[in-house]
Amino acid sequence: VNPQSITYHAASRTLELCYADGVDSLLPAELLRVYSPSAEVRGHSESERKLQTGKKHIAIDSMESIGNYALRIVFSDGHDTGIYS
């Protein structure tokens, strides 16, 4: 299920996803950055996974739709890999 709208709230550094059934999700930028789906963060195996620290004040600089199913996020620390779906 795709959200009807995606809004970034810079003051609170949260990404808001709104769905047709009235459910809204608020995702902090810190959470999205720490749990990035990128190979850089997740590694190619469990042993390669890297703990992300020092991301408390991270912000989202920009977002780009990838097709009709995903989002590419550029964070204030320059991290821009990983596709969020």
pLDDT tens, the chain, 85 aa long: 899 999 999 999 999 999 999 999 999 999 999 999 988 888 788 888 888 888 899 999 999 999 988 999 999 999 999 899 9
What pLDDT does residue 84 have?
94
* Number of separate domains in the chain: 1
Please give the residue range of the domain that contains residue 52.
5-84
Closest Cα partner for 41 from 32, 33, 50?
A: 50
Report how far residue 73's alpha carbon sits from residue 83's, in angstroms, rounded to the nearest whole number: 8
Secondary structure string (H, E, C) spanning the chain:
CCCCEEEEECCCCEEEEECCCCCEEEEEHHHHHHCCCCHHHHCCCHHHCCCCCCCCCCCEEEEEEECCCEEEEEECCCCCCCEEC
Q: What is the CATH number of the domain that holds 73?
A: 3.30.2020.30
